[in-house]
Amino acid sequence: MIQFPRNLHNLHYFKHNGKQFVSDLDAGVVIPVNKVVCDVLNACSVSETDTIIDDFSDRYNRSEVFEALAFLSKLSEIGLLFSSHPAEMELIRRNERPKIFMTAGILESRKTTPFLLSAANHQLLKMLANYSDLYLPVSETDNNRQEIEDGLRTEGVQSIFFRNDRSFSPAKFIPKDCTGVLALAPLTVGEQVFLKFNTTPVILRLSNEALISHKARSTVLERCAVLRNFDAFACDASWTQTFFSDFVPDLGVFHHVPYGVDTSVFKPMDKTRCKHQLSQALGNETILQKPLVGIVPGLNSHETLRFLRKLRFANPDFNWLVIHSTQMDDDTNDGCVNFFNIASLQDKEASPFIFNALDALVFPTILGSFPLLLLEIVACGIPTVVWGYSKPKEISGACRFIQISPSLFDPVDLPVESISQELRFLLENPNEQKDLVRAGLKAISTWSWEETIQRILRLFGDLQNRKVPEYKSTKHRLLFRKHYNPVCGKIESEAFVLSKVPTLLDIEQAIAMTLLEEHTPMEVKTVLHAICKEPERVKKILENLL
Amino acid sequence: MLVCPKSTSHLHKFRQGNRMYVADLSQCLVLEIDNIVWEILDLCSYFSSEEIIEKLGNKYDTELVIAALNSLATMDQQGLLFSNLDISSPALETETPQKLKILVLQRSPYTADITLATGGVSVAHHNLVKSLGVYASLDVGSDRDERFNESVQGIRFQVDDKSALLKLMANNYDGVLLESHLENRFFSFLHCIDAPFIVPIYSARGHNGDVINTGLVWYAAMRPFDAFLVPTNSVKDLYGRFVCDKDIFHTIPLGVDTNKFYPLEKQKAKNEIAKMLNKPEIATSPVVGFFSRFQPEKGAGIYIKIAKLLPNVCFLMTAPTLNIYAHQELPPNLICAPQQPRDQLVRFLNAFDVYCFPSMVGEETFGLALLETMACGIPPIVPKLDGLPEVVGDAGIVVTAQTYDDEIGSFAGTVSPNVMADAVNTLLTDEKTRLALGQKARERALTFTWDKTAQNVIALFRRLKRIQQLENGYKRHFGISFVPYLNNRRKQIESRAILNNITLQKERPLMKDSYAQSIEVGLALALLRKHSRHEVEAVLHHLYGQDRAQATLEKVFGLEESVNG
C-alpha cells in the first residue's frame, strides 16, 4: 500500500461539467478523479496512511478508500502526483512531555512475575509517570475494569479502554502522536503486532531473570528477528547481550538500562549487629561462627541445589545464604545452607539488614539471575565473586571474576573449584575486600532511578530519530517469472527489474529486495539462510543491499 | 491558421500563481498558455478566425494574434486541444448499454494492408477485430484518433506518453485485447488499466525459446482476471507442462471466411493457373500444394524431398521468397509461384488436389493457411504435431510424426518424407477417398467462423469481468515474521515463519494470535502482498520444484480465500 505522508507535485483541482479533475502541472496532465481520491490527496501530504484510512472510515466505506489508495499508488508508480521520496517523518517534539504506550502484558504478568521484578517494575512505572504520559490498553469487557483503572491511576497510568473485537487490534489504540511503546513484560503473542504495520518505536524490556527458561530465550531470538531499526531491547543486565552475541549480528538492538538502587536504604551498616539479627531470625547460632557467603542462583531449583551441595562439600567451613525470589525446594537445610526468599514487601524491607550480614557474595552473570540483587548487595558494601559470561559492567568490574562460555543448549558449567579458590582468596585478603567494596560503592552511586528513566527517554529519542528506512527500494517493479533456458532446455525461474532496460537478478537477491521493504534485515537473513545453500551467498546478498 | 469556430467544451482554463494553463480533458493533458491564447480560447467557440483577429487586434499586435492562431493550428494537426471525441460517445453508450467497450492494442496501424499478408497473426487479428466490431465498441490504439467506422475508434497514443495512458485509464474499458503476446511493450499497461486483458498466443514455441519466454513474462504479471487466448488445446497442453495455473488458457479456435475461400470447379481452376504460370502440367497432372513460408521450419526441405520421391506428380507452391532454396537445383516437377494476393488465393488453392504441410517447427498453434485450404475443399496431409491435428480432425490425413516434447526452442518434431510421400500417393491414387475427404474438409471449415470466434471472445470478456468483480474489493494481508527458532529437542537453530494475526488494516480475523508456518508458506504470503500469484509460483518453483510449489500455492490461496471470502 502506498505510504503517506508524501510530498505532492504542483497540483490544481477543478470541476468541469460537474466532474472533478486534478491537474498535475509538473507532469502536464489532467486526471479525472472521484471525491474519495480528491479527499485523500488533500490529506496525504500531512497524514500517514493509517490515519487517512481511520479518518475516512466514517465518511466512506473501506473498499472505496482502499480503491482510492490503489489508484493513487498506480499513478505514483508512473511518476505522477507525488515527489519521488516520502516526506520526512515528523520528528518528535522534544520539549513536549513524551507519550508512552504501555503493553497490557504487564497487567497479566503481575500474577506470575517474581516479587522482586514485579516490585522493580512498579517502581519504574511510578518514576516514569513523573516524566511522561503513560497509556495502557484495558479491555472494555474486563470484569475488574474499574479496579484496574483505579489501580493504574494511582501509578500515574491512564487507561485506554478498547472493545475486544476481532476487527481491531490493540495496535490501533496507540495514540497518534505517541513517542513509543514500552513493553515492561515480555510481549504476549498478541502484542507482537506492535512490531508490524506500525511506525511507533517499541522498547522491549528484557529481564535477565526471566531468561532462565529455554522458551524465553527462544522468544528473544524470535523478537530479535522482527525488531526494526527503530526498536530496541532494554536489558536490565549488562551481560544479557553477551549470551546472544553469537546469534544476533547486530548487538546494537540491546541497550543496558538497569533498575535504580535506592542508596538511602541499601548502604553499609554495622555488620555484627546485622549478623546477630539474622542469626536470631533464622534461629541459627552457627551464622556467628563461620563466614557467611551469600548466593544468588540464576539456575533452576534442581541445579541450584546441585550447585550448593558441591560448594558446601568443597567449603565445609562456610555458611551459605541463598537469596532468591522464586519458589525453591529447600530440603537440604542442615544449618550450613540457609534460604532467604524475598517474596513480599516485608521481606524487601528486611533485605538491607540481611545483605549487610554477608561477608561475601557469589553472583552469576548468566541468564536467569536478577541483576538488581547484585547492585543492592554491592551497595551494602559486600565484596563479590562473580562467575559467568562477562564481567558485570554495572559495578565497573569490581569483583573477583570467573569466566565461563555461554552455550545455547547444554546445562551451565558450574566452576565450583574456581569459585571456592576466589572466595578463600577474598576472605583472607581484607585489602582486596576494601578495594572491591570502594570501587563497587562508587559504581553503584550512578544507578539511581532517575538515571533509569533518563536512559529510557533518551533511548526513545534516539529511536525516533532513527525512523528512516535502512533499505531504499528500487523505483521500478520487480518481476519474478519462469523462463525457458534454451541452452539446457529447461524451465527455470528468474527475476528482473522492470526498468527501461530490464536488469536480470538472482531470484534470491530479488526475494531479499522485495522482503526488505517490509521486513527487517534479520528476518530476511533468516529467510535467505533457509533458501540459499551457501552461507557465503547470504552474506554477499545482504552486504550488497544494505 | 486555426479555422474557427471550434468547440471548447472539453477545455478547462485556470490560473495557478501567475501562470495560465489549459487542460484538455479529452486528452488528459495540461498545457501552459499565454494571455493571447487564453483570450482566443474564450472566443473561438463563437467567432471565426477573422473575427477573432479583429476583436483582439485592438488589444494585441495583429501579428502576435496570427502567430498564436498558427501555433494552435499546429496543435490541432497533432490532435491536441481541438479534437474532442468524448462528447458524442456517452450518447452512443446509452443507446447500446449491452455493448462492451474494448481497447485493442496492436503493432500495426488499424488500416494495415492485409491483402498481401502471409503471417497468420495479422490475418487472424484483422479478422477478429472486424468480427468483434459487431458485438463491441472498439478503441484501437493507433497513430491517430479518428473514427474508422461505426464501432471502431482510433485512439492516438505512444507507450511512454503519460497523458495518453491516463486517457486509457480514465476510459473504463470492459476489456483489453492484444494483437498477440509478442506485443510486450504493452506489458506495463497491466499495472495501470483496470480491465481484463486477453492476450492471444499464436506462436507457442520455436524461435530459440523467445516466444515461450515472452508468454511466460505475461503469465508472471497476469492478474486472476486476465486470460490467454489460444487457438487450439495444444498450446494449453504445452504451457500446462510448466505452469500451475492452466485455467488462464482459453481455447477459442480461429475462423475462416468461407465466402472468400470456397471450392471451384477443379479442372477449370487448374487450367487457369496452368495458363497463368505457363506450366501446362498443372492442368494435366495431380497437384500437391504448399502454401506457407518456404523455409526449413515450415517443412520446405521435406516438401522438396517428397517432390523428388514422386517425380510424376506436380508440386505447386506459393511463397513470397524461396529463401535458401533459390540457390539450389529444385526437382523439375516443383513449380514455384510468386506470392498471390489474398483475393486471388481461392483460385490458386483450388488448383491443388491435395495440400501437404510438413511443418516441423512446432509453432503451428492452429494453421490458418491449413483451414483456408480446407475451406476450398482440398484434403490436407499434415504431421501429427501441435495444433494441426485439431484443425484437420477427420477431414484429412494426419501422419505420424516423431515429436520431441522437451524441445521448446527449435524443432519440435520431424516427419519422414517417405511416410508423407506414401500418404500423398495413397490419396492421389484413391480418387473416391480424396473427393470424400475434400468434401469433409469444406464441411469442417464451415464450422470455423470468425463470427463464432468473436462471440467466444466477447463471452470470455464477460466471464473475466465477472471474475474481476469477484476479485476486487477488500483484500486482507497478514503480517508475516521470519524468525529463528531454537529447537531444543534437536539442539539446533531452525527457521520458521510466523503468521501474525493482524492485517494491514489492523484487524484480527483468526482465533489465535499467531501461527507457526514453514518458510515457504510464509514467503508465499509475504510476496503475495506485492507480487502476482504467478510470480510467487515462479519463486517457489525455483526454490522447491514444481510439485511442492503447487501444493504450497494451493494451501496459501485456500487461506487467502477463507479469510477474504
Query: Do A199 and A145 sit in the same domain of this protein?
Result: yes
Show the cell assigned to A430: 581484607
| Residues of chain A neighbouring B472 (CB-CB closer than 8 A) | 67
Q: What is the mean pLDDT of residues B330-345?
A: 90
Query: Collapsing DSSP states into helix, strand and coil, what is residue A125?
Result: helix
Does the beta-carbon distance from B482 to A518 stay under 8 Å? no
Query: Do A419 and A524 sit in the same domain of this protein?
Result: no
Please report the pLDDT score of residue A254 as a whole number: 92
Instruction: State the best of B162, B223, B492, B519 to mutate against chain A, taking most chain A CBs within 10 Å.
Output: B162
> How many independent structural domains does chain B possess?
4
pLDDT of B94 strictly over 50: no
Q: Which residues lie closer than 8 Å to B79 by C-beta, 6 or more apart?
A: B27, B144, B145, B156
What distance in Å separates residue B134's CA from the closest CA in chain A? 30
Q: Looking at the complex, does the CB of residue A25 fall below 8 Å from at least one CB of chain B?
A: yes
Q: Among residues 435-454 of chain A, which lie with CB inside 8 Å of chain B?
A: none
Q: What is the mean pLDDT of residues B363-383?
A: 92
HSE, CB side, 13 Å, CA atoms: give it for residue B413: 22
Q: What is the mean pLDDT of residues A479-508?
A: 87
Query: Do B235 and B285 sit in the same domain of this protein?
Result: no
Does the beta-carbon distance from A221 to B500 stay under 8 Å? no
Q: What is the pLDDT of residues B188-237, one digit of tens each?
A: 888 888 899 999 999 888 888 889 999 999 999 999 999 999 999 999 99
Q: Among residues 155-184 of chain A, which lie with CB inside 8 Å of chain B?
A: 166-169, 171-172
Nearest CB among A23, A193, A493 relative to B542 is that of A493
Assign B109 a pLDDT band (cuts: 50, 70, 90): low
For the ranges A31-45, A74-88, B134-148, B546-560, the lowest mean pLDDT is seen at: A74-88
Please report the pLDDT score of residue A468 as a whole number: 67
Query: Do B378 and B501 sit in the same domain of this protein?
Result: no
Show the cell assigned to B495: 527457521
pLDDT of A90 strictly over 50: no
| Residues of chain B neighbouring A14 (CB-CB closer than 8 A) | 12, 14, 23
Q: What is the mean pLDDT of residues B300-329?
A: 92
What distance in Å separates residue A235's CA from the closest CA in chain B? 20
**DSSP for B433-478?**
HHHHHHHHHHHHHHT--HHHHHHHHHHHHHHHHHHHHHH-S----E
| Residues of chain A neighbouring B513 (CB-CB closer than 8 A) | 188-190, 192-193
| Residues of chain A neighbouring B208 (CB-CB closer than 8 A) | 486
Q: Which of A86, A112, A145 is the last residue of a domain?
A: A86
In a domain, A414, yes or no: yes
Sign of the alpha-carbon torsion through B91, B96, B101, B106: negative
Does the beta-carbon distance from A221 to B21 stay under 8 Å? no
Nearest to A68 by CA among A36, A116, A115: A36
Nearest to B256 by CA among B440, B118, B447: B447
What distance in Å separates residue A435's CA from the closest CA in chain B? 42
Query: Do B19 and B113 sit in the same domain of this protein?
Result: no
Show the cell assigned to B101: 467497450
CA distance B57 to B67: 12
Query: Do B23 and B103 sit in the same domain of this protein?
Result: no
In a domain, B469, yes or no: no
Does the beta-carbon distance from B513 to A192 stay under 8 Å? yes
Q: Looking at the complex, does the CB of residue A546 fall below 8 Å from at least one CB of chain B?
A: no
Query: Do A154 and A51 sit in the same domain of this protein?
Result: no
**Owning domain of residue A39:** 6-86
Q: Looking at the complex, does the CB of residue A50 fall below 8 Å from at least one CB of chain B?
A: yes
What distance in Å separates residue A244's CA from the closest CA in chain B? 12
Query: Do B532 and B391 sit in the same domain of this protein?
Result: no
Where residue A364 sits, what CATH number does that domain have?
3.40.50.2000
The ipTM assigned to this model is 0.83
> How many independent structural domains does chain A possess?
4
CA distance B282 to A390: 102
Query: Do A286 and A316 sit in the same domain of this protein?
Result: yes
Query: Do B164 and B246 sit in the same domain of this protein?
Result: yes
Where residue B143 sits, what CATH number does that domain have?
3.40.50.2000
Q: What is the pLDDT of residues A129-173, one digit of tens each?
A: 888 888 888 877 777 788 888 888 887 788 877 766 666 666 777
**Owning domain of residue B19:** 11-77
How many residue contacts between A and B have a Cβ separation below 8 Å? Answer: 245
Query: Do A424 and A278 sit in the same domain of this protein?
Result: yes
B84, burial (CB in 10 Å: exposed 0-12, middle 13-18, buried 19+): middle
Q: What is the pTM of this model?
A: 0.82
Nearest CA in chain A to B172: A32
Show the cell assigned to B160: 511512454
Query: Do B319 and B183 sit in the same domain of this protein?
Result: no
What distance in Å separates residue B426's CA from the closest CA in chain A? 38
Nearest to A541 by CA among A502, A519, A513: A513
Query: Do A227 and A309 sit in the same domain of this protein?
Result: no
Please report the pLDDT score of residue A393 as a whole number: 92
Q: What is the pLDDT of residues A428-457, one digit of tens each?
A: 999 999 999 999 999 999 999 999 999 999
Does the beta-carbon distance from B539 to A527 stay under 8 Å? no
Instruction: State the best of B163, B171, B213, B502 to mutate against chain A, taking most chain A CBs within 10 Å.
Output: B502
What distance in Å separates residue B486's CA from the closest CA in chain A? 5
CA distance B454 to A184: 67
What distance in Å separates residue B53's CA from the closest CA in chain A? 28
Nearest to A193 by CA among A101, A320, A257, A265: A101
Does the beta-carbon distance from A507 to B543 stay under 8 Å? yes
CA distance B126 to B148: 13
CA distance A187 to A190: 8
Please report the pLDDT score of residue B217 as a whole number: 92
Query: Do B119 and B58 sit in the same domain of this protein?
Result: no
What distance in Å separates residue A80's CA from the closest CA in chain B? 9
Query: Do A275 and A421 sit in the same domain of this protein?
Result: yes
Please report the pLDDT score of residue A355 as a whole number: 94
Does the beta-carbon distance from A484 to B406 stay under 8 Å? no
In a domain, A312, yes or no: yes
What distance in Å separates residue A414's CA from the closest CA in chain B? 21
Nearest CB among A67, A481, A531 relative to B216 is that of A481
Q: Looking at the complex, does the CB of residue A486 fall below 8 Å from at least one CB of chain B?
A: yes
R_g (Cα) of chain A, nearest Å: 29
Q: Which of B23, B45, B77 is the last residue of a domain?
A: B77
Nearest CA in chain A to B489: A409
Query: Do A387 and A492 sit in the same domain of this protein?
Result: no
Does the beta-carbon distance from B527 to A518 stay under 8 Å? no
**With pLDDT > 70 as the criterion, what percentage of chain B qualifies?**
95
pLDDT of B112 strictly over 70: no
Q: Look at strands A202-206 and A180-183 and give their pairing.
A: parallel
Please report the pLDDT score of residue A334 as a whole number: 64
Query: Do B431 and B303 sit in the same domain of this protein?
Result: yes
Q: How far is CA B119 from CA A120, B124, B389, in A?
A: 83, 9, 20
DSSP letter assigned to residue B231? S
DSSP letter assigned to residue A359? S
HSE, CB side, 13 Å, CA atoms: give it for residue B484: 23
In a domain, B502, yes or no: yes
Q: Look at strands B397-399 and B380-383 and give their pairing.
A: parallel
In a domain, B456, yes or no: no
**DSSP for B350-406?**
HT-SEEE----SS--SS-HHHHHHHHTTPPEEEES-TTHHHHHTTSSEEE--EE-TT
Nearest to B363 by CA among B538, B215, B178: B215
Assign A228 a pLDDT band (cuts: 50, 70, 90): confident
Q: What is the pLDDT of residues A306-357, one digit of tens each?
A: 898 899 889 989 999 999 887 766 665 566 788 888 888 888 889 999 999 9
Nearest to A369 by CA among A239, A248, A256: A239
Query: Do A279 and A251 sit in the same domain of this protein?
Result: no
What distance in Å separates residue B479's CA from the closest CA in chain A? 6
H-state helical runs in A80-182: 105-109, 115-129, 145-154
HSE, CB side, 13 Å, CA atoms: give it for residue A112: 9
B332: left (phi over 0), alpha (psi -120 to 50) or beta: alpha
Percentages helix, strand, coil for chain A (3-state, rounded to 5) are 40, 20, 40
Nearest CB among A1, A30, A493 relative to B28 is that of A30
Higher pLDDT, A468 or B201: B201
H-state helical runs in A402-504: 416-428, 430-444, 449-465
Contact (CB, 8 A) for A376 and A363: no
Average pLDDT across chain A, whole number = 85
In a domain, B490, yes or no: yes
HSE, CB side, 13 Å, CA atoms: give it for residue A222: 26
In a domain, A288, yes or no: yes
In a domain, B457, yes or no: no
Amino acid found at A420: S
CA distance B401 to B396: 15
How many CB atoms are closer than 10 A to CB A23? Answer: 26
pLDDT of A95 strictly over 60: no
Please report the pLDDT score of residue A178 as a whole number: 85
| Residues of chain A neighbouring B522 (CB-CB closer than 8 A) | 527
Q: Among residues 241-300 of chain A, which lie with CB inside 8 Å of chain B?
A: 247
Instruction: State the best of B500, B517, B553 to mutate against chain A, taking most chain A CBs within 10 Å.
Output: B500
Query: Do B235 and B131 sit in the same domain of this protein?
Result: yes
Q: Which of A441, A468, A487 is the last residue of a domain?
A: A441
For the ranges B145-149, B268-272, B291-295, B516-520, the lowest mean pLDDT is seen at: B145-149
Does the beta-carbon distance from B541 to A10 stay under 8 Å? no
**DSSP for A375-410?**
HHHHHTT--EEEEESS--GGGTT-SEEEE----SSS
How many CB atoms are closer than 10 A to CB A502? Answer: 12
B491: left (phi over 0), alpha (psi -120 to 50) or beta: left
For the ranges A264-273, A470-479, B503-512, the lowest mean pLDDT is seen at: A470-479
The residue with cell 485523500 is: A40
CA distance A201 to A179: 7
**With pLDDT > 90 as the criterion, what percentage of chain B qualifies?**
47
Instruction: State the best of A162, A172, A481 to mutate against chain B, taking most chain B CBs within 10 Å.
Output: A481
Query: Do B306 and B337 sit in the same domain of this protein?
Result: yes
For the ranges A88-97, B56-65, B175-184, B187-196, the lowest mean pLDDT is seen at: A88-97
Nearest to B304 by CA among B317, B293, B292: B317
**What's the length of chain A?**
546
Assign B95 a pLDDT band (cuts: 50, 70, 90): very low
In a domain, A503, yes or no: yes
Higher pLDDT, A25 or A332: A25
Show the cell assigned to B203: 506462436
Nearest to B174 by CA among B193, B191, B155: B193
Show the cell assigned to A465: 530519530
Query: Do A76 and A104 sit in the same domain of this protein?
Result: no
**DSSP for A268-312?**
---HHHHHHHHHHHHT-GGGGTS-EEEE---S-HHHHHHHHHHHH
Nearest CA in chain B to A193: B502
Please report the pLDDT score of residue A270 as a whole number: 93
Instruction: State the best of B410, B475, B508 to mutate against chain A, taking most chain A CBs within 10 Å.
Output: B508
Please report the pLDDT score of residue B509 as a whole number: 84
Query: Do A45 and A108 sit in the same domain of this protein?
Result: no
List residues bridging with B274 in a β-sheet.
Answer: none
Higher pLDDT, A168 or B485: B485
Assign B92 a pLDDT band (cuts: 50, 70, 90): very low
In a domain, B54, yes or no: yes
| Residues of chain B neighbouring A221 (CB-CB closer than 8 A) | 483-486, 493
CA distance B394 to B444: 9
The residue with cell 492484444 is: B178
Nearest to B518 by CA among B540, B538, B501, B502: B540
Please report the pLDDT score of residue B473 as a whole number: 67
Q: What is the mean pLDDT of residues B443-447?
A: 95
Average pLDDT across chain B, whole number = 88
In a domain, B468, yes or no: no
Query: Do B25 and B99 sit in the same domain of this protein?
Result: no
pLDDT of A298 strictly over 80: yes
Q: Which of B414, B442, B470 is the last residue of a domain?
A: B442
CA distance A354 to A294: 10
List residues bridging with B30 in a β-sheet.
Answer: B23
Q: How far is CA A363 from CA A350, A471, B117, in A?
A: 20, 43, 92
In a domain, A469, yes or no: no
Helix axes B431-446, B417-429, angle to 10 degrees: 100
In a domain, B264, yes or no: no
Q: Looking at the complex, does the CB of residue A516 fall below 8 Å from at least one CB of chain B?
A: no
DSSP letter assigned to residue A258? P
B257, burial (CB in 10 Å: exposed 0-12, middle 13-18, buried 19+): middle
Please report the pLDDT score of residue A176 as a whole number: 73
Nearest CB among B481, B507, B530 relative to A225 is that of B481
Provide the terminal-to-terminal Cα distance of chain B, rounded to the nearest Å. Answer: 61
DSSP letter assigned to residue B510? S
Q: What is the mean pLDDT of residues B313-322?
A: 91
Query: Do A74 and A108 sit in the same domain of this protein?
Result: no
pLDDT of A84 strictly over 70: no
| Residues of chain A neighbouring B508 (CB-CB closer than 8 A) | 166-169, 190
